[in-house]
């Protein structure tokens, strides 16, 4: 029997120039474990081999260029993308890339997306959280979406530290050291990213760009579990039909950092296997554990193949 191909889509790295400018809570969350984030070669590929992962699509760890001024974000995004391109050129059989985008300058971000896709063969882009406190549905960011649609590549929406006012109002009371426990991957990341998604769905961007594609991680940031209620409530509040179908049409989800059979089965029932792709969230989660999760999940062999590689190969042309 031929080996099952495995493609992982939410797998992180960092570059010193971006890393060393992180401050505050970004530094707490974004600086561990540093050795594995820096390794774009032998050590990373050895861990992929151990788990049987054929390809990692790499992206810069949060918060990315989204937290800097426009000029700085352009410089740092370009540096991160150039370094990633070098790594992908060295091992094109094992590594691919999502671009870091300088969203504080939306025109430059659109141009950087085109540069990295056309010159380096990147498979899309990752946007980490809010852009200096602003949600990505604001119309000033729509040139990025226009370019992504024209290039026929997806944008991966990844969490980052929530808005400071949200941290102060919701998360500051329960601390691990000086880090609010609920602020990050425990809860705040899900809330922030799912809010970005829902705002996009209400914004009209998909009417203007009907072929626009997004990916979100962590088994859909809780949206599959809430999709029926979201659809029902939006319809009763606004008369708008098809809210759930809008999500099913424009979004793919990944298994990154959420190795739960109930969450997977819920997502399969709501979205279908064609909308789910394998990811680990390396190095914060284990490659071996992520692969074992899908291998042991109570799903059909055909669905397993789609999740492990088929869907990603089709969407990203891998």
Q: What CATH number is given to the structural domain containing 42?
A: 3.20.20.140
Which residue range(s) make up the domain with 239? 7-316
Please indicate, yes or no, if residue 248 is contained in any of the structural domains. Answer: yes
For the chain, first and last CA: distance in Å? 22
Residue 24: the pLDDT is 61
Please indicate, yes or no, if residue 55 is contained in any of the structural domains. Answer: yes
162 close to 172: Cβ distance less than 8 angstroms: no
Please indicate, yes or no, if residue 79 is contained in any of the structural domains. Answer: yes
Residue 1: the pLDDT is 72
Closest CA to 227 of 243, 212, 215: 243
Q: What is the pLDDT of residues 251-288, one digit of tens each?
A: 999 999 999 999 999 999 999 999 999 999 999 999 99
Residue 59: the pLDDT is 98
* Residue entry with tokens 């708008």: 240
Q: Is 8 helix (H, G, I), strand (E, B) or coil?
A: strand
Q: What is the pLDDT of residues 167-187, one digit of tens each?
A: 999 999 999 888 999 999 999
Please indicate, yes or no, if residue 15 is contained in any of the structural domains. Answer: yes
Cβ within 8 Å of residue 224, ≥6 positions away: 253, 263, 266, 267, 270, 271
Q: What is the pLDDT of residues 138-157, one digit of tens each?
A: 999 999 999 999 999 999 99
Instruction: Find residue 12's DSSP bridge partners.
Output: 59
Please indicate, yes or no, if residue 2 is contained in any of the structural domains. Answer: no
Average pLDDT value over all residues in the chain: 95
The pTM score is: 0.97
Q: What is the pLDDT of residues 20-76, one digit of tens each?
A: 887 665 555 544 557 899 999 999 999 999 999 999 999 999 889 999 999 999 999
Long-range pairs for 184-187 at CB < 8 Å and ≥24 separation? 184/25, 184/29, 184/159, 185/159, 185/257, 185/284
Alpha helices in the chain (DSSP H): 16-19, 24-30, 34-38, 42-51, 70-90, 106-120, 142-151, 164-166, 188-203, 205-208, 223-238, 243-250, 261-271, 287-296, 301-305, 311-316
105 in catalytic set: no
User: Average pLDDT in the 9-24 region?
Assistant: 86
Residue 219: the pLDDT is 98
DSSP state of 169: I
Catalytic position from the list 137, 231, 281, 303: 281
Please indicate, yes or no, if residue 132 is contained in any of the structural domains. Answer: yes
Please indicate, yes or no, if residue 253 is contained in any of the structural domains. Answer: yes
Q: How many domains does the chain have?
A: 1
Q: What is the pLDDT of residues 214-252, one digit of tens each?
A: 999 999 999 999 999 999 999 999 999 999 999 999 999
Q: What is the pLDDT of residues 128-138, one digit of tens each?
A: 999 999 999 99
Least confident of 4-18, 27-41, 143-157, 304-318: 27-41
Please indicate, yes or no, if residue 1 is contained in any of the structural domains. Answer: no
Residue 54 phi/psi, 5-degree rounding, is -85, -40
């Amino acid at each position: 029997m031929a080996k099952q191909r495995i493609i992982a889509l939410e797998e992180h790295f960092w570059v010193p120039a971006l890393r060393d400018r992180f401050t505050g809570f970004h530094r707490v969350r974004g600086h561990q474990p540093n050795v594995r984030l820096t390794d774009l070669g032998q050590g990373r590929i050895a861990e992929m081999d151990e788990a049987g992962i054929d390809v990692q699509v790499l992206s810069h760890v949060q918060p990315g260029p989204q937290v800097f001024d426009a000029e700085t974000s352009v410089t740092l995004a370009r540096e991160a993308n150039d370094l990633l391109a070098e790594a992908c050129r060295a091992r094109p059989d094992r590594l691919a890339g999502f671009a870091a985008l300088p969203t504080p300058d939306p025109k430059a971000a659109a141009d950087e997306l085109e540069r990295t896709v056309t010159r380096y063969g990147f498979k899309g882009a990752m946007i980490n959280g809010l852009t200096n406190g602003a949600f990505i549905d604001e119309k000033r960011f729509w040139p990025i979406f226009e370019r992504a649609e024209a290039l026929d590549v997806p944008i991966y929406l990844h969490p980052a530290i929530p808005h400071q006012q949200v941290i102060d109002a919701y998360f500051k009371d329960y601390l691990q050291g000086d880090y609010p426990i609920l602020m990050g991957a425990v809860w705040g990341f899900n809330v922030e990213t799912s809010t970005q998604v829902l705002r996009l769905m209400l914004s009209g961007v998909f009417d203007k760009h009907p072929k626009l594609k997004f990916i979100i991680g962590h088994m859909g940031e809780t949206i599959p579990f809430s999709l029926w209620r979201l659809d029902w409530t939006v319809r009763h509040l606004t008369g708008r039909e098809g809210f759930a179908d809008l999500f099913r049409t424009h979004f793919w989800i990944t298994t990154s950092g959420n190795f739960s059979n109930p969450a997977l089965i819920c997502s399969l029932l709501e979205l279908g296997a064609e909308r789910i792709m394998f990811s680990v969230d390396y190095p914060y989660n284990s490659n071996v554990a992520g692969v074992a999760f899908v291998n042991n999940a109570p799903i059909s062999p055909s669905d397993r193949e789609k999740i492990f590689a088929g869907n990603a190969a089709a969407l990203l042309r891998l």
